[in-house]
Structure 1
Amino acid sequence: MDVRKNFLGHLYAALEREGIYTYVDREELRKGKQITPALMKAIQDSRIAIIIFSENYASSPWCLEEVVKIMECKEQRNLMVLPVFYKIKPQEVRTPRQSYQKAMVKHERKFGKDSEKVSKWKKALFDAGNLSGWDFNDEDEADLIKRIVNEISMQLHRTPLDVAKHPIGIHRRIVYLESMLNLESDNDVLMIGLWGHGGIGKTTLAKALYNDIFRRFEASCLLADVRETSKDSKDLVLLQEKLLSQILPGKELPVFNVAGDQIYEVKTLENPEALELFKKHAFLRNNEIVIRRDLVKSALHYANGLPLALEVLGSFLCGRREEEWESALDKLAKIPDKNINDVLKISYDGLEDYAKEIFLDIACFFKGQSIKHIKEVLDSCGFNTTIGVQVLVERSLITIERPIEGEKIQMHDLIQLMGMDIVKQECPNDLSGRSRLWLYEDVYDVLSGDMESNAIKAIVLDLPTTEEIYIGPNALGNMRRLRLLIMINVHNSFQGPIHLPNELRWFEWPECASSVLKFPPGPKKLVRLDLHKSNIQVAMDQFKVRI
């Protein structure tokens, strides 16, 4: 039965009316038996694929190649696949039976019973036939089309999360976690805790599980930064309330501690998986470079099966020669009681100075913020931010997330802590000897006095609620290398002028108390001045160029 002239045509028109861009495999454009590059690209670029299984679907090698490609993209690119079983039963597709069985017998006669091509077709049909979709017999077609369009419209507003560039070892864990969730049961609530060492992939696994199941529900939510959010809470009730408020806005539901929780221990990658993930990062661009097996084995030893360490160390070694591998691994070998932090720092140590500055600013101040804002701030400080960010991405020190509201720079907690620790170790016992300050207590201690500092380059204090802070008359002016000053929710009590250094590039202090900005004589480097909702006075003649 040909559905192109009736059901498919009506469905296509309905999707077009909703403004949903739809690509249809048009029979008249087919050439030969091979799937065309244009259709392959259309499948790869799509967010949702609808497979309409009709009576004669399996008789077409072209259609079977399509379903193979679609199921590959589901596995590799998280393509959402929705089957429509048009006047046939799902088991006819899975087994296959009736017209599907006859078609597969015919293909086996042509290509051979043990043909790899036919085996791929059968597997694709089996996997697609097991998916949730729509069964249609002789009901109202218009009603079915309406339901399909509504479902697709809803799903297009929900996007999957960025997980991992190379999701090695994730699939088998997801299968097990789904069995623990027992989604077909009648239980209202089930909680599973992911437990394991830092850098072992707990967040990655949680995101991958979310992507695999979130479309089965009418609403979904993933809360990030749970550790920071819950560190002051005695239980998880507040987090559960936040979760429910995002899934069911406007509704108040009582939340209690949930009994019967399960714990899943996330273990390190097994040797074959660890090697595969390491190779994906270490030999990404320069496959012609041959590295001795003992060096690869040594790198795997130091990474110890931790995905984060495998990614960062592999990315650092990528494209380097054997002698550079030997030097880096020899450096690790000399560190007593080495841990993951030492492995991660190898990548940081190999950065150029400007990239180190960008990395430390992101780690201390800007994790999770929009890439547009970060580039604006750091470009004002004279950094080559665009290429610097790209280098950090290539080294697996940061990632770019692309939610609907725009691109954001993210960083693994362990990498962020490493960056913060690098700054703290610049001068462990003297805050004025550190390059960056971001904690309230540290900023207060430094600014409440008039100590001089040639080390402090940036202060960013972004408080959740308004706090009062005393600033000494010359505290900021004495920081001669200060290039970046951001004070959010910070109120000052002094009445005198604010003295600032000429090196300052970016000054942002909303709602600052009434005062006057003063710079010393000489050239100024100020690029951005943000004083909205404040009464600060700026003497503009300070910025005049005198000839």
Structure 2
Amino acid sequence: MALSTQRDPAFLPSPDQSAPQPNYDVFLSFRGEDTRNSFVSHLYHELQLRGIKTFKDDPKLERGTAISSGLFNAIDESRLAIVVLSPNYASSSWCLDELTEILQCMKPKGTILPVFYHVDPSDVRKQSGSFACAFAEHEERFREDRERVKRWRTALTEVANLSGFDSKNECERKLIENIVEWVWEKVHHRFKLLDSKGLVGMKFIREQVDLLLAHPTDDVRFIGIWGMGGIGKTTIAHLVYDSISTRFEVSSFLANVREVSQRGNLVHLQRQLLSPILKDQITQVWDEQCTQVCDEQCTQVWDEQWETSVIKNCLYNKKVLLILDDVSESSQLEKLAGEKDWFGKGSLIIITTRDKRLLVKHDIHISCDVEALGNDDALELFSWNAFKKKEPEEGYLELSKGFVNYARGLPLALKLLGCVVHKRDQYEWKSELDKLQEIPKSEIIDLLKISYDGLDEMNKDIFLDVAFFHKGMSKERVIEILDCCGLCGHIGINALVQKSLLTMDISNNTVEMHDLIQEMALEIVRRECSEEPGRRSRLCNCDDISHVFINNTVRIM
């Protein structure tokens, strides 16, 4: 990538600047006779392919006449401008008027990218070489309007002093790739900043991930992000994907792998991964496949195997960024990203999961353990959802702390609870907080329950026993009790830790559990029979226990 090094303007406007929503991401300024049907045509095509909305003027517009008000509006309504400075650029008074307007609108925001296409930046800056010939004609033609010519010279000098791309000694295809990548990253980065509230408390985790990504390598890397449901794994994965996806030939974010796989649609994810490579050809390939094997013996398993072979054949020589979000089974990994040799040098595969054991099984040694938010970050995230600002409103601080304490740093819970009390008065807040002590929010419980549902029967029993009776006890004592009950305590405890349902306090060697995870366990048992405590498998509430003894409603096992 060839860059001139005069100075690097700040691309993004400061957060306090206000401006109307732009209609275009990019305004293209160029000399038609030099580049319209060659360089600019290819650049425009690639920008459009990447979803970058680009203004390129109609070729039927007559050059040499006064610049139209429509073009002025297009410049004003664009996020940034790409100025393609070619040998004959300065010969057009239209281009020079356009450039003057671009500088007036965008230079204060630092959103101009010059591309020196077969010209020396110094010729542009000093109006020498072909630019000198053009200005000799302008001086003659516009001798009655020397101020206009002076503005043009100033504009060329200013744009030549900006950091940009130089085509000298650069393959044109690579030059276009670099320009598009740079523009996409800048435009997309702005979009991310507009929604930064959702990233409260992610700074530390992002720093951890940055350390994992800090040393680029030609090796294929697998990285795991694991933690319990609702802790923010997917948010982190999106953050990483948005930040680095432009560095790869192929980028794909496959969301909800567990859920899609359970519906029997793993082939859909395989095709989603392949679609950026095969594009329009992929429909034809799949149609041919279906024609060849469309009989009663054709099974979903065979389809998945066929797609797996296509993935390996298509991606083995490409630098790929692949995010597999919420992976729960080894078979999902085996069908989507089985081995390192499926991907080209420098590829990166990131897996989010609730099951650390899955990462170990696939020899994924580089991992990031996502932990709960600290009190300050938790309060800020709750406030953004409850008040749409960073801090609680006057009179709501203690109530807010009550909800934050209940959520115990779980981002999902903080967001859901903040939305529940948004725009409600203090009486309603107190009422909701009181209800939370009795009946947990079903949305939170149902999401956390996904991890429990994936356990075998023995580990379900171990999980519920720990939640009801053994939380905070030493690991050795818990294992001893479980073993006496015919349960495999050591294996079960380790499995639940890897599923993010239990944690270990290393300093005391005790078995711990997130409070919301424990409430989920209590709710699971309550749902066994919501009306009669005596028909439930376990009891720990004093009132429920008294009710069972007084009324002799104990469950018959």
Question: So what's the TM-score if we normalise by structure 1?
Answer: 0.39
Higher Rg of the two aligned structures: 2
Q: 1 or 2 for the larger relative contact order (CA 8 Å, sep ≥6)?
A: 2
Question: So what's the TM-score if we normalise by structure 2?
Answer: 0.38
The answer to which structure has the higher helix fraction is 2
